[in-house]
Amino acid sequence: MTSMSWAEGKPIKGVLLDISGVLRDGHEAIAGSVDAFHKLMKSGLEVRLVTNESQVTRQGSSDTLQSLGYQGVLLENIFAPAPLLAKELLKHGHRPHLLVHPKVKPEFDAVIDQISQSEGETDPTCVVIADAAEYFTYESMNTAFRILLSMQQKGLDPKLFTLGRGRYYKENGLLWMDVGPFVTALEYGLDIKAELFGKPSPVFFHTALSSLSSDGEISADEVVMIGDDIIGDVQGAMDAGMRGVLVRTGKFRPEDENHPTIKPSGIVDNLASAVDMILRGCNTN
């Protein structure tokens, strides 16, 4: 797809970038992405990084990007589902059972501190699931299952929160199962529906949009999302009223270009191509 249509028309004022598959692949920067990122940062456009990564904190993501040559990455400009969910848990006083990777647990420190300072009930009131990687075991899944089942047996609403619904992701040249299949297993086993706090949730995209312009000067149709996930990145953004552009890097597969129901606003080879089109489009408006 070579059409400039997605980068032309209504001016683009904000850009959302996925991290894994767009900026980096494992522990390596994707070719051309570092320079493209710096071009974008110098363009005057509002830029935010939005990720469903849940094996690491935002600080960890920032440190990794800095080590790969990405300069100017501010922690407050990285949007991940864990901090968003942590705020929700604090707001409602939930006591979560965390089925998450140990490296992301620091995002929930304030929640754990609140629980430790409270008196009374200590049993979990919800289960939080994320990409726990090697910590997904038969035992850990059954523990989460039994906690939710116990809530059902007590006549309570078994709350299951997930930081993503991805089917797979690419790391170090290989595809790995993401959190989605494990969420589905708990949903099926208990006949419940998990509440999503990551992409493609509209709440997640609207939170990132709000950060682009607190006074509402930037509207959803003036924002483009660039990602390698046809569902989480592209469909999620388009459902939120944004432009969704798919890159042929990361976990992209050729069949994504002919998805039966999702038609991206644009498909490009990589971030460098997307940024060039965005900046050319800005110069024609």
Residue type, 68: L
Distance separating alpha carbons of residues 93 and 116, to the nearest angstrom: 12
**Which residue type does 231 have?**
I
Residue 171 is predicted with a pLDDT of 80
Mean pLDDT confidence for 33-40: 98
Q: Quick check: 283 pLDDT over 70? A: no
Q: 8 in a domain, yes or no?
A: no
Residues 146 and 176 in one domain: yes
Task: Identify the CATH number of the domain in which residue 272 sits.
Answer: 3.40.50.1000
In this structure, how many other beta carbons lie within 10 angstroms of the beta carbon of residue 142? 12
- Alpha-carbon distance of 172 to 149, in angstroms, equals 37
What does the pLDDT read at residue 98?
98
Q: Residue 86 CA to chain centroid, in angstroms?
A: 15
Digit-coded pLDDT (tens) for 48-90: 999 998 899 999 999 999 999 999 999 999 999 999 999 999 9
Q: Say if residues 46 and 208 touch (Cβ distance below 8 Å).
A: no
205 lies in the same domain as 189:
no
| pLDDT band, residue 197 (cuts 50/70/90) | very high
For residue range 216-272, list pLDDT tens digits in order.
689 999 999 999 999 999 999 999 999 999 999 999 999 999 999 999 999 999 999
Last residue of a domain, one of 196, 223, 257: 196
pTM of the full structure: 0.89
d(CA 140, CA 96) in angstroms, rounded, equals: 14
* Alpha-helix residue ranges (DSSP H) falling in the chain: 33-42, 58-67, 81-92, 109-117, 138-153, 180-190, 202-212, 236-239, 271-284
**Residue 105, both tokens:** 């647990």
Q: Which of 137, 168, 196 is the last residue before a domain boundary?
A: 196
pLDDT of residue 2 exceeding 50: no
Please count the structural domains in the chain.
2
How confident is the model over 106-147, as pLDDT tens digits? Answer: 999 999 999 888 877 889 999 999 999 999 999 999 999 999
Residue 6 inside a domain? The answer is: no
In a domain, 158, yes or no: yes
* pLDDT of 282 strictly over 90: no
Residues 152-175 pLDDT 10s: 999 999 999 999 999 988 887 888
Q: Helix 81-92 and helix 202-212: axis angle, to 10°?
A: 100
Q: Is residue 2 part of a domain?
A: no
Residue 20 has pLDDT above 80, yes or no: yes
Residues 166 and 213 in one domain: no
Instruction: Please name the amino acid found at residue 78.
Output: I
220 with 276, same domain: the answer is yes
Is 230 within a domain?
Answer: yes
Q: At what angle do helices 138-153 and 180-190 cross, to 10 degrees?
A: 40
Got the DSSP string for 128-157?
Answer: EE---GGG--HHHHHHHHHHHHHHHHTT--
Please give the Cα distance from 86 to 114 (Å, whole number). Answer: 11
- Is the same domain home to 147 and 241? no
Same domain membership, residue 138 and residue 110: yes
CA distance 133 to 152: 27
Question: Are residues 103 and 149 part of one domain?
Answer: yes
Domain's final residue, options 165, 196, 227: 196
Structural domain of 207? 14-52+200-284
**Distance (Å, rounded) from C-alpha 230 to C-alpha 35?**
24
End-to-end CA distance of the chain: 21
Identify the pLDDT of residue 3.
Answer: 52
